[in-house]
Amino acid sequence: MKKLLIAFLFTQACAANAQQLFSSMIEQGNKQLSGYVFVSLAMPDSHLIGIARDAYRSGMTIVLNGYMDGYPKNKDETQKRVLEINRACCGERGGAHWMINPPLYDRYKIINVPAFVIAKGASSSPTDYSKVSGEMSIPIALRFFYQNSQIPEVKTKSYEIYQRFANNQ
Protein backbone atom coordinates (compact mmCIF):
# COMPACT_ATOMS: atom_id res chain seq x y z
CA MET A 1 0.00 0.00 0.00
CA LYS A 2 2.85 2.38 0.85
CA LYS A 3 4.46 1.75 -2.58
CA LEU A 4 1.16 2.45 -4.32
CA LEU A 5 0.76 5.72 -2.40
CA ILE A 6 4.31 6.75 -3.29
CA ALA A 7 3.67 5.87 -6.95
CA PHE A 8 0.46 7.91 -6.92
CA LEU A 9 2.14 10.93 -5.34
CA PHE A 10 5.05 10.66 -7.77
CA THR A 11 2.65 10.54 -10.71
CA GLN A 12 0.87 13.65 -9.39
CA ALA A 13 4.19 15.49 -9.09
CA CYS A 14 5.08 14.48 -12.64
CA ALA A 15 1.76 15.82 -13.89
CA ALA A 16 2.63 19.25 -12.49
CA ASN A 17 5.98 19.18 -14.28
CA ALA A 18 4.31 18.27 -17.57
CA GLN A 19 2.91 21.78 -17.81
CA GLN A 20 6.36 23.24 -18.55
CA LEU A 21 6.56 24.21 -22.19
CA PHE A 22 3.20 23.07 -23.50
CA SER A 23 1.36 25.20 -20.94
CA SER A 24 2.41 28.14 -23.08
CA MET A 25 0.36 26.69 -25.92
CA ILE A 26 -2.90 27.91 -24.39
CA GLU A 27 -4.03 31.10 -26.07
CA GLN A 28 -7.01 33.32 -25.42
CA GLY A 29 -9.98 32.29 -27.57
CA ASN A 30 -8.29 29.19 -29.02
CA LYS A 31 -8.62 25.56 -28.17
CA GLN A 32 -5.77 24.22 -26.08
CA LEU A 33 -3.01 22.43 -27.96
CA SER A 34 -1.89 19.16 -26.41
CA GLY A 35 1.26 17.20 -27.15
CA TYR A 36 1.30 13.40 -26.92
CA VAL A 37 3.91 10.70 -27.44
CA PHE A 38 2.43 7.24 -27.95
CA VAL A 39 4.68 4.37 -26.84
CA SER A 40 4.71 0.75 -25.77
CA LEU A 41 6.51 -0.57 -22.72
CA ALA A 42 7.79 -3.32 -25.03
CA MET A 43 10.08 -0.74 -26.63
CA PRO A 44 13.76 -0.91 -25.62
CA ASP A 45 14.65 0.87 -22.38
CA SER A 46 17.10 3.18 -24.14
CA HIS A 47 14.30 4.47 -26.40
CA LEU A 48 11.80 4.87 -23.57
CA ILE A 49 14.30 6.68 -21.35
CA GLY A 50 15.19 9.11 -24.16
CA ILE A 51 11.53 9.75 -24.95
CA ALA A 52 10.75 10.25 -21.25
CA ARG A 53 13.63 12.74 -20.94
CA ASP A 54 12.42 14.68 -23.99
CA ALA A 55 8.79 14.54 -22.80
CA TYR A 56 9.80 15.89 -19.39
CA ARG A 57 11.71 18.76 -21.00
CA SER A 58 9.00 19.60 -23.53
CA GLY A 59 5.93 18.99 -21.39
CA MET A 60 4.45 16.40 -23.74
CA THR A 61 2.46 13.52 -22.23
CA ILE A 62 3.46 9.90 -22.83
CA VAL A 63 0.47 7.69 -23.65
CA LEU A 64 0.18 3.93 -23.23
CA ASN A 65 -2.55 1.85 -24.85
CA GLY A 66 -2.96 -0.34 -21.77
CA TYR A 67 -1.25 -2.12 -18.92
CA MET A 68 1.80 -4.32 -19.36
CA ASP A 69 0.81 -7.64 -20.93
CA GLY A 70 -2.67 -6.22 -21.46
CA TYR A 71 -4.12 -7.16 -18.09
CA PRO A 72 -5.40 -4.67 -15.48
CA LYS A 73 -3.98 -6.97 -12.80
CA ASN A 74 -0.58 -5.77 -14.01
CA LYS A 75 -1.28 -2.21 -12.86
CA ASP A 76 1.41 -2.38 -10.18
CA GLU A 77 4.01 -3.73 -12.64
CA THR A 78 3.12 -1.00 -15.12
CA GLN A 79 3.46 1.74 -12.48
CA LYS A 80 6.76 0.27 -11.33
CA ARG A 81 8.12 0.23 -14.89
CA VAL A 82 7.03 3.83 -15.51
CA LEU A 83 8.67 4.96 -12.27
CA GLU A 84 11.89 3.16 -13.22
CA ILE A 85 11.94 4.86 -16.63
CA ASN A 86 11.26 8.28 -15.10
CA ARG A 87 13.96 7.74 -12.49
CA ALA A 88 16.45 6.69 -15.20
CA CYS A 89 15.61 9.66 -17.41
CA CYS A 90 15.34 12.43 -14.91
CA GLY A 91 16.63 11.30 -11.51
CA GLU A 92 15.16 13.20 -8.60
CA ARG A 93 13.92 16.10 -10.75
CA GLY A 94 10.68 14.26 -11.45
CA GLY A 95 9.91 12.81 -14.80
CA ALA A 96 7.52 12.71 -17.69
CA HIS A 97 3.76 12.64 -17.27
CA TRP A 98 2.31 9.27 -18.35
CA MET A 99 -1.25 8.11 -18.91
CA ILE A 100 -3.03 4.97 -20.06
CA ASN A 101 -5.62 6.11 -22.58
CA PRO A 102 -6.75 3.65 -25.30
CA PRO A 103 -9.36 6.09 -26.68
CA LEU A 104 -6.55 8.48 -27.68
CA TYR A 105 -5.03 5.68 -29.79
CA ASP A 106 -8.38 5.38 -31.57
CA ARG A 107 -8.96 9.14 -31.86
CA TYR A 108 -5.62 9.74 -33.57
CA LYS A 109 -5.51 6.41 -35.43
CA ILE A 110 -2.26 5.30 -33.82
CA ILE A 111 -1.06 2.04 -35.34
CA ASN A 112 2.73 2.21 -34.89
CA VAL A 113 4.75 3.54 -31.97
CA PRO A 114 6.40 5.75 -31.22
CA ALA A 115 3.94 8.26 -32.62
CA PHE A 116 3.81 11.98 -31.90
CA VAL A 117 0.64 14.09 -31.99
CA ILE A 118 -0.07 17.75 -31.43
CA ALA A 119 -3.79 18.29 -31.22
CA LYS A 120 -6.00 21.35 -31.10
CA GLY A 121 -8.79 20.43 -28.70
CA ALA A 122 -10.21 16.92 -28.48
CA SER A 123 -11.47 16.42 -32.01
CA SER A 124 -10.61 13.42 -34.14
CA SER A 125 -10.84 15.52 -37.28
CA PRO A 126 -7.57 15.52 -39.26
CA THR A 127 -7.92 19.30 -39.48
CA ASP A 128 -7.43 19.51 -35.71
CA TYR A 129 -4.24 17.50 -35.20
CA SER A 130 -0.88 16.72 -36.74
CA LYS A 131 0.75 13.30 -36.38
CA VAL A 132 4.06 11.70 -37.24
CA SER A 133 5.35 8.26 -36.31
CA GLY A 134 8.68 6.54 -36.46
CA GLU A 135 11.84 6.16 -34.48
CA MET A 136 12.76 9.76 -33.69
CA SER A 137 13.17 12.14 -30.78
CA ILE A 138 10.64 14.74 -29.70
CA PRO A 139 12.76 17.60 -31.08
CA ILE A 140 12.78 15.95 -34.51
CA ALA A 141 8.99 15.44 -34.31
CA LEU A 142 8.56 19.10 -33.34
CA ARG A 143 10.69 20.13 -36.31
CA PHE A 144 8.51 17.95 -38.56
CA PHE A 145 5.38 19.67 -37.21
CA TYR A 146 6.64 23.20 -37.76
CA GLN A 147 7.88 22.36 -41.24
CA ASN A 148 4.93 20.26 -42.44
CA SER A 149 1.77 20.80 -40.40
CA GLN A 150 -1.20 22.28 -42.25
CA ILE A 151 -2.56 23.68 -38.96
CA PRO A 152 -1.19 27.20 -38.43
CA GLU A 153 -1.39 27.04 -34.60
CA VAL A 154 0.49 23.72 -34.53
CA LYS A 155 3.08 25.05 -36.97
CA THR A 156 3.73 28.22 -34.95
CA LYS A 157 3.73 26.68 -31.48
CA SER A 158 5.83 23.69 -32.58
CA TYR A 159 8.49 26.10 -33.78
CA GLU A 160 8.40 28.03 -30.49
CA ILE A 161 8.62 24.86 -28.41
CA TYR A 162 11.38 23.46 -30.62
CA GLN A 163 13.43 26.64 -30.21
CA ARG A 164 13.00 26.70 -26.41
CA PHE A 165 13.72 22.96 -26.24
CA ALA A 166 16.91 23.41 -28.30
CA ASN A 167 18.06 26.31 -26.14
CA ASN A 168 17.63 24.24 -22.95
CA GLN A 169 19.84 21.35 -24.08
CB crowding 7-37: b at 16 or more within 10 Å, else e: beebbeebeebbebbbeebeeeeeeebbbbb
End-to-end Cα separation, the chain, in angstroms: 38
**What CATH number does domain 2-167 carry, 3.40.30, 2.60.120, 1.10.10, 1.20.1560?**
3.40.30
Query: Phi first, then psi: what are they for 95, rounded to 5°?
Result: 170, -175
Helices (H), 18-111: 45-58, 75-90, 102-107
Helix (H, G, I), strand (E, B) or coil at 74: helix
Q: What is the pLDDT along the chain (169 residues), one digit of tens a residue?
A: 333 333 333 444 444 443 333 443 333 334 688 999 999 999 999 999 999 999 998 889 999 998 766 656 678 888 889 999 999 998 877 789 999 999 999 999 999 999 999 998 888 898 899 999 999 999 999 999 999 999 999 998 899 888 877 777 6
